[in-house]
Amino acid sequence: MTPFGSFFVIHLEPGADTRRLQFQQSYWPALVDIIDLADKYRAKLTLQFNPQWIEYILQDRIKLAGIRKWQAMGHEMGLHHHGYDHADWNGYTNRNDKDSEPKYRGNIRDMMELASRFFDPGQLLSGTITDEEFDYPDSIKYDTQGIKIYHAGRKPKLVTFNNREVIQLGMALLSWNGNVDSFKEAYMRSKNDELFGVVTHEHDFARNPVIIEKWLEFVASTGTAIKTVPEIIAEYKRHYPIEQGHKPLTFENDVDSRKAPE
């Protein structure tokens, strides 16, 4: 048995320095290569950008034009936020009394004002957000969350963050040294009313692109096309209802490697 559909999220990270953007400069070529590889297998990716990536791309009209071209090809541009609860905080938070910390860049309104220069109105739909209690943006409709293999192969659920409902999808991290066979086995065990989500990072791809290509090749061999999160949810809704979820996945409780169960 195989899942109803599959999606692939790329997390684009803030880097250690929240202001100088050297990390983004180093990994821009890897992002270009990810897109080229996805197109080889006709996979439509969901790219989720931390604000440092948005800031970096907005500085260069040629790179911004490249992003618009990728959108026209069918790839999705989404948001990734490392809140204060993340070991690699991106400097934006609605928590009180954090503005004196060296990494601080602003509150979530400041982050979303930056994002408004990057995303067209109504374009920002999916995101992976940490520190959900304080920082969840109102514009996100689809929440992608998870890291372990048991977080993938799930039904999408209607969950509540900050008193508003979003559709949450589970996913598992395929790292640079990931075990692709375990992902394949889990994929083939999925039910036909489930979605199978995978996530990786630009730096994972740069270290070992072969892992990512093996996964793209496998999914293509099953006859299933990897689609963006909004695409796969729209198709899913035509066949199945979105059920209410009473315990959403959260970064602190379910994903943070310092706390997540083995």
Per-residue pLDDT of 8-52, as tens digits, reads 999 999 999 999 999 999 999 999 999 999 999 999 999 999 999
Q: Is residue 260, in this structure, part of any structural domain at all?
A: no
Q: Is residue 261, in this structure, part of any structural domain at all?
A: no
Residues 192-203: what's their mean pLDDT? 98
**129 and 108 in contact (C-beta within 8 Å)?**
no
CA-nearest of 51, 131, 49 to 84 is 131
pLDDT in tens, 45-100: 999 999 999 999 999 999 999 999 999 999 999 999 999 999 999 999 999 999 99
pLDDT in tens, 202-247: 999 999 999 999 999 999 999 999 999 999 999 999 999 999 998 9
Give the pairing of strands 172-173 and 195-201: parallel
**3 and 234 in contact (C-beta within 8 Å)?**
no
Q: What is the pLDDT of residue 140?
A: 97
Domain that holds residue 147: 5-255
Q: Is residue 231, in this structure, part of any structural domain at all?
A: yes
**How many domains does the chain divide into?**
1
Chain-wide mean pLDDT for the chain? 96
Q: Is residue 82, in this structure, part of any structural domain at all?
A: yes
Q: Is residue 262, in this structure, part of any structural domain at all?
A: no
Give the pairing of strands 195-201 and 243-244: unpaired
pLDDT in tens, 119-169: 999 999 999 999 999 999 999 999 999 999 999 999 999 999 988 899 999
Q: Is residue 157, in this structure, part of any structural domain at all?
A: yes
Q: What is the pLDDT of residue 260?
A: 45
Q: What is the CATH number of the domain that holds 192?
A: 3.20.20.370
Q: Is residue 111, in this structure, part of any structural domain at all?
A: yes
Q: How is residue 239 annotated by DSSP?
A: T
- Those residues whose C-beta lies under 8 Å from the C-beta of residue 122, and which sit 6 or more positions away, are none
Q: Is residue 78, in this structure, part of any structural domain at all?
A: yes
Q: What is the pLDDT of residue 71?
A: 97
Q: What is the pLDDT of residue 168?
A: 98
